[in-house]
Structure 1
Amino acid sequence: MNLRNRRHLSIAGALALVVAAGVYVSVDQRDRQAEIAARSREVMPFDLETTTHRFAKSPSGGVQSVTSDDPGDSTQVTLIREHLTEETARFSRGDYGDPASIHGAEMPGLDRLRRGHEAIDVRYAELPTGAQITYRTTDASLITALHAWFDAQVTDHGRHAEHG
């Protein structure tokens, strides 16, 4: 085998490793998302398959919303509103137990949000097909924590969540 053929084999081998690693990561991520969906069903009363979570970052924090994919599904809208009302009260007290039980205690941003909850204005509002929670703070470290927390939720919830 000449030098040129060896180089091609080395490049092909390297590409195969990259592709294999990418497949492994996506399988691992799908497993994580399935685990998160199962845990979510234990905490959230609404149907993940017929609702969408959105996480929109802002310079002062962000907005988390959950809406029914079917505007006429009043059952899902009611369940969303009840759950987000409760979560708003908990988050205002620094109780992030529900996200921790779904995503794990080491979820990015979670510990900082717990410790700094008094410096975060957390407000609930109804939307036509669900509800939202708005988080505002002037503390840069809390804004960073909120953004990390939002990113982790979008990644973990997969097709059930999106940015914006």
Structure 2
Amino acid sequence: MKPPSATVIIASACILLGTTIVHPAAIAGNEARQKQVVQQGTEVMPFSIAATTHIFTKTANGGIQQVVTKHPAPEQVAMIREHLTTIAKQFSAGNFAAPEKIHGENMPGLAALRTAKPGELEIRYRDLPNGGEIEYRTHEPRLVTALHEWFDAQLSDHGHDAMAGHDPGMMHHHSMDAPTAN
């Protein structure tokens, strides 16, 4: 019996560890996409994308999108808060033009989010000490799926300037029903 090749051994290890092998051309394509998103983002976001971290946390009933500064910078914090407040109002009105301009009209999840009827998708903005967050809540499974797809696409598009968060329900939860301190 012939011993397995190094490629077979590596691929098997990756499967067992739950990791994937990414072809170098795919990485280069993703980096080009991320550069394009940064360039288009400067037309929509008033703050420096490179000076911020975008955190996308999927929850059972939607998700939480946070933008925080990487270094203390009051002017960045003010710009983040102003932008996210505006975006939350636009999204509440069914206007998803800003993410479309940055990520494209065919961004995963956006088509379904545009179909949300009044009252199906709750969107609430909240200040954070180093930025801001938008919480999305729904009881509609199609919208939860859409939000999760949208978050995944943003994580991919923002690259090193984004990260997946952990469901705050396991630690502490910012309930939309409870008052928050700003």
Q: Does the TM-score normalized on the shorter chain lie above 0.5?
A: yes
Provide runs of 4+ in structure 1 moved above 6 Å: none
CA distance in 2, matches of 1:87, 1:142: 18
**Which residue matches 1:131?**
132
How many Å apart are 1:30 and its aligned residue? Answer: 0.5
Q: Which letter does structure 2 place at the counterpart of 1:60?
A: N
- Structure 1 equivalent of residue 151 of structure 2: 150
- Matched with 2:112 is 112
1:59-98 correspondence runs (5 A): 59-71=60-72, 73-98=73-98
> Can you list the C-alpha shifts for 1:9-49, whole angstroms capped at 9, x where unaligned?
xx8xxx9xxxxx80111111100000011000110000111
Which structure 2 residue ranges, 5 or more long, are not aligned?
12-21, 166-182
Aligned to 2:177: none
SS in 2 for 1:52: strand
Which amino acid is 1:45 matched to? P
Equivalent-residue separation in structure 1 for 2:30 and 2:70 (angstroms): 24
**One-letter amino acid of the structure 1 residue matched with residue 60 of structure 2:** P
SS in 2 for 1:49: coil
Summarize the Cα distance change of 1:95–1:160 in structure 2 as closer, same or farther, 3 Å threshold: same
Bigger proportion of residues as helix: 1
CA RMSD between the two structures: 1.9
Gaps of 5+ in 1: 16-20
CA–CA distance in structure 1, aligned partners of residues 81 and 112 of structure 2 = 26
CA distance in 2, matches of 1:117, 1:81: 26
Q: Tell me the equivalent position of 1:50.
A: 51
Q: CA deviation at 1:142?
A: 0.2
The whole-number CA distance in structure 1 between the counterparts of 2:160 and 2:44 is: 18
Give the fraction of aligned pairs with identical amino acids, expressed as a percent.
Answer: 42
Deviation of 1:160 after TM superposition, in Å, equals 1.1
How far apart are residue 117 of structure 1 and its match? 5.2
SS in 2 for 1:65: strand
Q: What amino acid maps onto 1:34 in structure 2?
A: K
- Do the aligned residues in 2 keep the contact of 1:92 with 1:117 (CA within 8 Å)? no
The answer on whether the counterparts of 1:61 and 1:136 sit within 8 Å (CA) in structure 2 is: yes
Deviations 1:27-83 (A, max 9, x none): 111000000110001100001111110000000000000001113x00000000000
1:161 Cα shift?
A: 0.8
Matched residue, 2:32: 31
Counterparts of 2:130 and 2:157, CA distance in 1: 23
